[in-house]
Amino acid sequence: MVARVIPVEPFDLVIFGATGDLARRKILPALCRRYAEGQMPPEGRIIGAARTELSREDFHTMVSEAFDEFLGASAPDAALRAEFFERLDYITIDALGDDGWSDLSGRLRDDVVRAFYFSVGPSLFGPLATGLGRFGLVTPETRIVVEKPFGNDLETARALNQTLAAHFNETQIYRIDHYLGKETVQNLMAVRFANILFEPLWNARFVDHVQITVAETVGVGGRGAYYDKSGAMRDMVQNHMMQLLCLIAMEPPYSFEPDAVRDEKLKVIHALDPVEPRQVVRGQYGGGADTASYAEEVETPDSNTESYIALKVGISNWRWKGTPFYLRTGKRLRARTSEIAVTFRDPPHSIFGEDAPWKANILVIRLQPDEGMTLKVMIKEPGPGGMRLKDVALDMSFADALGEDMHIPDAYERLIMDVIRGNQTLFMRGDEVEAAWAWTDPIIAAWQKTADTPKPYDPGSSGPDEALKLIHLDGRSWREIR
C-alpha cells in the first residue's frame, strides 16, 4: 500500500542544536525521508545552527555520517543525499551571544513559513526565544518547536511559558511530545472515534482497568547526568504517559481541530485524583553480571532517583470513577515494549456454567515493537468435545495489515510536517503542560518529604516486587513484559 503524500508549502526551518544527538539521529533523517517521499518540497530550506564552527561541507559530512550510523540499510543513496544537501545549510551561532543572528536573518526568506526548532538543552529554550524576538526574526508565519523537558516543575514550566509568550502567540508554539507523533498513538484516536464498536463500552461500567506500560531494556547510558536530576516520574510520566492516559480517557472532541482535542485532554488532567504515597512504587535497578547498576551509571552512589515507577491513578469524572489506570515505566527491564491494555469487565452471567474458564476481553494497543492492536476474545474451542471455551487473540500488526512496503513514519517525520502545515493537534498546549505539572509536583513532594528511597530491582526483571503488590492488592496483575 502506498501512502498518499501531499507536499507541504515551502519553508525555512532552522534547527538550533543541529550538531547534537537528536538532530543527527532523528530530526535530519526524518526531514530527508520526507524529502524522498516528496512531502518536503524542493523549495524547502533547512539551516543547521550550533556553536561549533563548521563549513557547509563539514556539516554535510557530519549529517552523512549520521545517516550511515543511524539509518543503516535504509540510509539515503548518494543521489538523494546530494539533492537533500542542496537544501541544507549551516550557520555558527551561540544562543547566548550576539553574533550570527543578523547573518541568520539574512538567510531567511520573508514569504515562506519560518520554523525554529529548539533542539538544545532546556536552559537555552528561553534565551533562544528572546534572541529571535530581540533580533527581529519573528514574522507572523513563524513557529517555534520546543523539545522536552518543558520545565522541571510547575513553577519552571510556568516561567518558560511566560518567556515564550513574550515573543510568540500560543498558536506559534509547538511543544513536542514525540509519543503523540507515533502512528499507533494517533490510531488510538481513530480506533475510539472512527468506530462505533468501542465507545459504548468505553467507561467504568464496562472497563475494569487500564494498564499503560513503557518498558525499556537500556539503562540511562550517556544521559546519566540529566536523568539523575529528573527520574522516571518527570522523564516519562508527566509527559508521555500522561498524554497516553489522556487519549484513552478523554471525551470525544467535537472535531479533530487542535483546541477541540486539547480541551478534552486538559479536562482529563484536571479530573485526575491526587496520588497517595501508597499508590506509588519507585524502583532503581541494581547491577547485573555485565551491566552497571543505576548508581554506578550516574556515578552517584547514594542517588535517590527512580529508574522505575508504577502508579495507580484514579479519574474523578462520570465516565471513569471506579476504573483504575495503572501506569508503569522503567529502564533495564525484561523487554522493550510499550503498550496500552484496556481490560473489560466480565459478562454479568455465564450461561456456560460457573466453571467455564473465563478470561476478560482485553484490547491491547502496541506502540512498540511491532505497532498494532490485539483484541482478546472468547471463542468455542474447535472440536466435538462439547462447549469448551478458549481465549484467542484477534491480532493486527500494522506491518501485516498495511503491507511490508508500507513505511511507518517515525514520529518526528509526522510532527515536523505538522509544524510546517500549522497543525497543533499533536502538540501540547501551555495550559496542558502546566496542569500536568500541577498534578505531578505533589507526588514528587510527598516522597521527598518522607525521604522515600527507590526499591531495588534486578536488571532484566519486571521491576521491584513492591510494584507487583501494588496491583495484586486490588486483585489484579500486571501484564507480562515481553
In this structure, are residues 308 and 232 in contact, taking their beta carbons and an 8 Å threshold? yes
CA distance 216 to 460: 10
Grid look-up 492488592 returns 473
- DSSP for 440-453, please give it: HHHHHHHHHHTT--
- Binders in 141-160 for ligand NAP, by CB under 6 A: 147-149
The residue whose Cβ lies closest to ligand NAP is 20
**Does 434 count as an annotated binding residue?**
no
Site pattern 43..62 for ligand NAP (x: CB under 6 A): -------xxx----------
CB of 344 to ligand NAP, least distance (A): 34
The verdict on whether residue 331 carries a ligand-binding annotation is yes
CB 16 within 8 A of CB 147: no
- Identify the DSSP state of 68: H
DSSP per position, 291-310: S--HHHHTT-TT----SEEE
State how far the Cα of 59 lies from the Cα of 65, in Å rounded to an integer: 10
Q: Any known ligand binding at 19?
A: yes
240 classed as catalytic: yes
Q: Are strands 207-215 and 325-330 parallel, antiparallel or unpaired?
A: parallel
Tell me whether residue 17 is annotated as binding: yes
Minimum distance from CB of 207 to ligand NAP (Å)?
31
122 forms part of the interface with ligand NAP (CB under 6 A): yes
Among residues 37, 83, 94, 441, the one that binds ligand NAP under rule CB under 6 A: 94
Rounded distance between C-alpha atoms, residue 335 and residue 427, angstroms: 29
Name the active-site residue from 167, 209, 240, 407.
240
Is 96 a binder of ligand NAP (CB under 6 A)? yes
Stretch that binds ligand NAP, among 120-128, 205-213, 232-240, 458-466 (CB under 6 A): 120-128
Query: Binding to ligand NAP by residue 95, rule CB under 6 A?
Result: yes
The footprint of ligand NAP on this chain (CB under 6 A) covers a number of residues equal to 23
Omega of the bond prior to 277 within 30 degrees of 0, cis?
no
Asked if 143 contacts 419 with a C-beta cutoff of 8 angstroms, the reply is yes
Residue 455 touches ligand NAP, criterion: CB under 6 A? no
Interface with ligand NAP, residue 377, by CB under 6 A? no
Within 413-452, which residues bind ligand NAP (CB under 6 A)? none
Q: Give dist(CA 462, CA 478) in Å, integer.
A: 9
Least distance between ligand NAP and beta carbon 410 (Å): 12
Q: Are 287 and 452 in contact (CB under 8 A)?
A: no
Cα separation, 369 vs 183, in Å, equals 12
* From 12, 13, 14, 16, residue interacting with ligand NAP (rule: CB under 6 A): 16
Output 18 or 471, the one with its CB closest to ligand NAP: 18
Q: Where does 95-253 have alpha helices with state H?
A: 101-107, 125-134, 154-165, 183-193, 224-232, 242-249
* Selected range binding ligand NAP among 6-14, 61-69, 93-101, 270-278, rule: CB under 6 A: 93-101
- Nearest of 243, 297, 156 to residue 426 by alpha carbon: 243
Choice from 11, 14, 17, 232 touching ligand NAP (CB under 6 A): 17
Question: Is 24 known as a binding-site position?
Answer: yes
The response to whether 20 counts as a known ligand-binding position is yes
Active site residues per annotation: 240
Residues that bind ligand NAP (CB under 6 A): 16-23, 50-52, 93-96, 119-122, 124, 147-149
Binding-site positions for NADP(+): 17-24, 51, 148
